């Protein structure tokens, strides 16, 4: 039962003199902090944080949680984001004191368990990708992209080649061009065909010996495996360039096809997608990268190596690009990925992808009868339906459909991406949904297409709020609470 | 099969609906030449019980801070995490939800982001905050990129007293951008204004200062800010959030951008991550700030609500012209920080800071009263300090202390070869007098060298 007052801000609950935590008395005696620190460094007052009692804190954040849809509560077919079930066992394991209460600078002799886990995880990631050299350090998929592009830059510097450009298709995630820019490259867009495949003629016309890397998402953002990837890789390699694989869609091909085998030189994983790390309302993720043996020397340090039965963190790699994050990366997310891989084993991981692809194709077979799927009757783990005819015939937009789905207790698909499909709705059921859930989702989606435009334009009707004014939020930004602003 | 539902009957009926005979047919787009013709070479599956036993065994091969008193710092600290933080952040509606692209069903996360942003502004005194970045180190890098973009300059000045890993991250980023990193020595534990003034010129985009710094010492942030501003450069301060229970806030010292490692705000050490990158800045830089931002607005019925806003800065709209490539951030850890700060309140935060300072002072006094140890710097410190072992046997001594039950300190040799005889000791509010006394005994008792190794004079050491 929802608490209707739950949206009061924590600041509005504050009352002078109330407090939550109490700290113990100081057991070492001696002078006060004010005497130990120079007066000019001290603030007159502590920061003006809210003053609330612990029961209010608990009630406040508990009530806020009930305003979210989540995988634990709802079907979440958010294409490209891969919102699969987050296993409870992994949460408990990641919280074991011997994993959670470790300091990154402990002596190596006190870290042999976690270093063994890292070492094995490096091997599993390398095996699954077909790219044997692994860095666990990057903190998110986009961070992995950036790191890999820096690895490529270091490689070309070492070869004495001046390569200034990164290429990627127009259907690429926005992180691809942004990462290219941050790694110091010029970004060039390559056209894609209506099938979602790369336009080979356009690619060919943009390739020369100044191209460092071609970035490709495969399976692509339309949920199709680009068959021409081998040809593309050969072409790019013939100009001395490298292939980067955006691993966002690895859920479709675990144990079935390996990027290293179809021509990629580098890739990142999103363990929070493929290996079921929870998304946390927008993070943390992680972005481990895998590269070829040729590129191994450039990976960030430290890496874990095993010598004489002991696991060691190795910092001394002369050609390494250095460090992209403090300590060792988002370890907690990596532990969950390790648990996921060990839970499934080789047959199970393959089965994950088979089930994800079966579920997506099943849903596609139902949806295509009332919402066109321009790329056809088959897909990998996700597909993109187009609401264009609905828009033309009834004035109902993809956004209207998305909002109305919320009324029926389903999270919306990803809408308006990829940019190459008009009124795009990108649907990804994942392997952890039942036939019954898919049937009822398809049925609701169909029912919505039959509903009136009037009803849909004002949807959702049952959620705590509806259709917030985003223009106002952007034009008159209120991005923190002040007593006057509320 | 874990986590999947399809029964053989379901599968048959689904295949029929699709119009194929087998699951294999669905992979028709993957060319035969690219198909893996063997099982993956990874270990076979484990059930929940076996997995738990396996991971427990791995965990037991580590020594956790629950078994050994932890005096390690350098950017990760064994602070107290109130039970409410774990209890609330482990609600599935928080941790299994996604980035709030559909605000109607994400008001919980959006309001938390808005409250987090406000709390960070209250904490730092800065005008605006984003909704988090990866960690303290990458937040420094993002702040520097912001400063370069604002000023159109590409020379960056940092003291050697800033976390060495943060400086390494800057070096990595700069290798591809043609930017110049100038490191200023800090031989007395803090950087001198004269040295900063000598390093700053008309090409300088920003000066970055960590306060309290990597050695636990305080810096003259206001003095450095004046120098930076006189040259048209920005001042970026990397701060310790808990220190602000006592110390002046970054805004009071005229910082333009304030960044921090937020791990100390309710997150366990987790072997270094995931952590929380905090970034706040002056209002005038808000549209150059990287990362997500939640904004307040009203819905179609006039109800107050929150949405992701100013998205035109972000990569999914702006692509190569975005302020950053940041996409996934650290939402769950921003939530933890928001719960922690709400639970602590101003008094709780002050008490934590006070305990850190006093216990650190006690530990420093007790340790350096031993003939074997001297304090490396004569500076006020917040919650950590550098000790020199006159026997010069740091690595061996720390290993022995670990055997005796103390994670005693971080050796500095890896980053500061001239300080091979030094280690960094951190004392949080969790450490008791008994543990501190035990640490002193354990370190004093550690094996002593018959022939002390000569050490470089600190005054002469060039740490840059």
Point out the domain boundary residue: A321, A344, A367.
Answer: A344
The pLDDT tens digits of the residues spanning B178-203 come to 899 999 999 999 999 999 999 999 99
Together in a domain, A320 and A373:
no
- CATH number of residue A101's parent domain: 3.40.640.10
The pLDDT tens digits of the residues spanning A320-332 come to 999 999 999 999 9
The percent of residues above 90 in pLDDT, for chain B, comes to 90
Residue B167: pLDDT over 60: yes
The pLDDT tens digits of the residues spanning A184-196 come to 999 999 999 887 8
Q: Is A31 contained in some domain?
A: no
Together in a domain, A106 and A159:
yes
Give pLDDT, residue A137: 97
Full-model pTM? 0.97
Give pLDDT, residue A321: 97
Do the chains contact at B123 and A49, CB–CB below 8 Å?
yes
Nearest to A473 among B5, B297, B353 (CB): B297
Domain layout of chain B by residue ranges: 1-40, 69-79+345-462, 83-341
Q: Is A279 contained in some domain?
A: yes
3-state class of A120 per DSSP? helix
pLDDT-derived band at A83, boundaries 50, 70, 90? very high
Q: Does residue B249 have a cis bond before it (omega within 30 degrees)?
A: no
3-state class of A273 per DSSP? helix
Together in a domain, A337 and A351:
no
Residues of A in contact with B35 (CB under 8 A): 256-257
Closest approach of chain A CAs to the CA of B392, in angstroms?
17
Do the chains contact at A113 and B62, CB–CB below 8 Å?
yes
Give pLDDT, residue A419: 84
Rounded distance between C-alpha atoms, residue B213 and residue B191, angstroms: 10
Rounded distance between C-alpha atoms, residue A203 and residue A193, angstroms: 11
- CATH number of residue A353's parent domain: 3.90.1150.10
Closest approach of chain A CAs to the CA of B247, in angstroms?
4
Nearest to A348 among B45, B91, B218 (CB): B45
Give pLDDT, residue B457: 39
Together in a domain, A335 and A391:
no
Number of domain units in chain A: 2
CATH class of the domain whose range is B83-341: alpha beta
Q: Is A359 contained in some domain?
A: yes
Q: What is the mean pLDDT of residues A348-372?
A: 97
Give pLDDT, residue A345: 98
Nearest to A230 among B31, B94, B138 (CB): B31
Residues of B in contact with A22 (CB under 8 A): 348, 351
Residue B463: pLDDT over 50: no
pLDDT-derived band at A138, boundaries 50, 70, 90? very high
Compare all CA atoms of chain B with the CA of A6 and give the residue at the minimum distance. B108
Compare all CA atoms of chain B with the CA of A379 and give the residue at the minimum distance. B26
Residues of B in contact with A477 (CB under 8 A): 286, 293, 295, 309-310
Give pLDDT, residue A485: 52
Q: Is A41 contained in some domain?
A: no
Centroid of chain to Cα A349: 19
Do the chains contact at B2 and A281, CB–CB below 8 Å?
no
The pLDDT tens digits of the residues spanning B384-434 come to 999 999 999 999 999 999 999 999 999 999 999 999 999 999 999 999 999
Together in a domain, A257 and A381:
no
Contacts (Cβ under 8 Å, ≥6 apart) of A246? A141, A145, A172, A173, A176, A215, A216, A217, A267, A268
Compare all CA atoms of chain A with the CA of B351 and give the residue at the minimum distance. A23
Compare all CA atoms of chain B with the CA of A97 and give the residue at the minimum distance. B64
Q: What is the mean pLDDT of residues B86-110?
A: 97
Together in a domain, A340 and A353:
no
Do the chains contact at A256 and B359, CB–CB below 8 Å?
no
Residues of B in contact with A59 (CB under 8 A): none
Give pLDDT, residue B449: 57
- Residue A460: φ, ψ to 5°: -80, 155
The residue segments making up the domain with residue A109 are 88-344
A478 in Cβ contact with A414 (< 8 Å): no
Compare all CA atoms of chain A with the CA of B395 and give the residue at the minimum distance. A107
Together in a domain, A340 and A356:
no
Q: Does domain B69-79+345-462 have CATH number 3.40.630.10?
A: no
Point out the domain boundary residue: A307, A328, A344.
Answer: A344
Residue B455: pLDDT over 60: no
Q: What is the mean pLDDT of residues A37-42?
A: 96
Together in a domain, A233 and A331:
yes
Angle at A223 between CA A222 and CA A229, to 5 degrees: 90
A216 in Cβ contact with A232 (< 8 Å): yes
The percent of residues above 70 in pLDDT, for chain B, comes to 96
Give pLDDT, residue A34: 87
Nearest to B91 among A65, A103, A341 (CB): A65
Residue B437: pLDDT over 60: yes
Q: Is A404 contained in some domain?
A: yes
Together in a domain, A406 and A325:
no
Rounded distance between C-alpha atoms, residue A170 and residue A153, angstroms: 23
């Amino acid at each position: 039962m929802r608490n209707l007052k739950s949206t009061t801000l924590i600041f509005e609950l504050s009352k002078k003199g109330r407090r939550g935590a109490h700290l113990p008395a100081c057991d070492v005696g001696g002078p006060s902090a004010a005497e130990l620190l120079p007066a000019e460094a001290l603030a007159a007052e502590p920061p003006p944080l809210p003053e609330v009692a612990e029961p209010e804190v608990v009630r406040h954040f508990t009530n806020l949680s009930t305003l979210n849809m989540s995988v634990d509560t709802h079907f979440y077919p958010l294409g490209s984001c891969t919102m699969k079930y987050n296993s409870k066992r992994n949460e408990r394991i990641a919280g074991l004191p011997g994993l959670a209460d470790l300091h990154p600078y402990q002596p190596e002799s006190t870290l042999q368990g976690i270093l063994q886990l890292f070492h094995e995880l490096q091997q599993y990631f390398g095996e699954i990708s077909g790219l044997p050299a692994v860095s666990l350090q990057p903190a998110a998929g986009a961070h992995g992209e950036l790191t890999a592009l820096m690895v490529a830059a270091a490689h070309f510097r070492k070869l004495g080649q001046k390569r200034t450009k990164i290429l990627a298709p127009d259907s690429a995630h926005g992180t691809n061009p942004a990462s290219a820019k941050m790694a110091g490259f010029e970004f060039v867009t390559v056209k894609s065909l209506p099938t979602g495949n790369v336009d080979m003629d356009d690619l060919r016309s943009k390739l020369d010996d100044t191209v460092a890397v071609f970035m490709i998402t495969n399976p692509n953002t339309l949920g199709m495996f680009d068959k021409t990837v081998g040809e593309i890789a050969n072409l790019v390699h013939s100009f001395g360039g490298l292939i980067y694989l955006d691993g966002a869609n690895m859920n479709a091909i675990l144990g079935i096809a390996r990027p290293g085998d179809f021509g990629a030189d580098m890739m990142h994983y999103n363990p929070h997608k493929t290996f079921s790390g929870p998304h946390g309302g927008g993070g943390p993720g992680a972005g481990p990268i895998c590269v070829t043996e040729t590129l191994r020397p450039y990976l960030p340090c430290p890496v874990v190596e095993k010598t004489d039965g002991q696991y060691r963190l190795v910092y001394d790699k002369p050609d390494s690009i250095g460090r992209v994050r403090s300590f060792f990366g988002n370890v907690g997310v990596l532990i969950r990925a390790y648990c996921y891989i060990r839970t499934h084993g080789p047959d199970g991981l393959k089965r994950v992808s088979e089930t994800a692809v079966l579920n997506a194709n099943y849903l596609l077979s139902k949806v295509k009868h009332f919402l066109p799927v321009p790329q056809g009757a088959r897909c990998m783990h996700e597909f993109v339906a187009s609401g264009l005819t609905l828009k033309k015939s009834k004035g109902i937009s993809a956004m209207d459909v998305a909002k109305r789905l919320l009324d029926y207790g389903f999270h919306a698909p990803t809408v308006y991406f990829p940019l190459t499909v008009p009124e795009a709705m990108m649907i990804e059921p994942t392997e952890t949904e039942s036939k019954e859930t898919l049937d009822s989702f398809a049925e609701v989606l169909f029912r919505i297409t039959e509903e009136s435009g009037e009803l849909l334009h004002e949807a959702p009707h049952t959620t705590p709020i509806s259709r917030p004014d985003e223009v106002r939020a952007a034009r008159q930004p209120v991005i923190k609470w002040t007593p006057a602003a509320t | 099969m874990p986590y999947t539902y399809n029964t053989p009957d379901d599968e048959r009926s689904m295949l029929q609906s699709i119009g194929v005979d087998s699951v294999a047919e669905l992979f028709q787009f993957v060319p035969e030449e690219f198909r893996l013709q063997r099982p993956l070479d990874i270990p076979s599956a484990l059930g929940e019980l076996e997995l738990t036993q396996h991971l427990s065994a791995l965990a037991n091969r580590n020594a956790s801070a629950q078994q050994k008193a932890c005096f390690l710092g350098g950017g990760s600290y064994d602070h107290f995490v109130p039970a409410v933080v774990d209890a609330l952040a482990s609600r599935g509606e928080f941790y299994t939800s996604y980035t709030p692209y559909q605000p109607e069903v994400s008001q919980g996360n959006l309001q938390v982001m808005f409250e987090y942003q406000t709390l960070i502004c209250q904490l730092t005194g800065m005008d605006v905050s984003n909704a988090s970045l990866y960690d303290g180190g990458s937040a420094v890098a993002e702040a520097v990129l912001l400063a370069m973009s604002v000023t159109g300059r590409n020379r960056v000045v940092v003291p050697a007293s800033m976390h060495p890993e943060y400086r390494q991250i800057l070096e990595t980023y700069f290798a591809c951008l043609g930017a110049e990193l100038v490191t200023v020595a800090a031989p007395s534990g803090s950087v001198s204004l004269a040295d900063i003034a000598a390093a700053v010129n008309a090409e300088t985009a920003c000066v970055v200062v960590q306060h309290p710094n990597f050695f636990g010492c305080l810096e003259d942030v206001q003095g450095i800010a004046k120098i930076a501003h006189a040259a048209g450069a920005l001042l970026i301060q990397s701060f310790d959030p808990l220190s602000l229970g006592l110390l002046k806030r970054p805004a009071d010292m005229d910082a333009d951008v304030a960044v921090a490692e937020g791990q100390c705000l309710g997150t366990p050490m987790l072997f270094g991550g995931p952590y929380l990158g905090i970034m706040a800045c002056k209002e005038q830089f808000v549209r150059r700030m990287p990362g997500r931002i939640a904004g307040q607005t009203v819905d179609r019925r006039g109800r107050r609500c929150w949405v992701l806003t100013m998205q035109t800065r972000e990569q999914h709209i702006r692509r190569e012209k975005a302020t950053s490539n940041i996409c996934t951030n650290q939402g769950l850890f921003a939530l933890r920080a928001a719960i922690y700060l709400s639970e602590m309140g101003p008094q709780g935060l002050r008490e934590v800071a006070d305990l850190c300072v006093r216990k650190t002072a006690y530990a420093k006094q007790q340790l350096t009263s031993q003939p074997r140890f001297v304090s490396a710097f004569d500076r006020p410190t917040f919650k950590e300090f550098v000790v020199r072992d006159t026997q010069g046997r740091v690595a061996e001594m720390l290993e022995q202390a670990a055997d005796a039950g103390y994670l005693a300190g971080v050796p500095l040799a890896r980053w500061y070869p001239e300080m091979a005889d030094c280690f960094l000791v951190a004392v949080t509010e969790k450490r008791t007098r008994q543990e501190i006394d035990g640490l002193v005994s354990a370190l004093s008792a550690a094996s002593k060298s018959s022939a002390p190794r000569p050490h470089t004079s600190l005054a002469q050491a060039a740490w840059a």
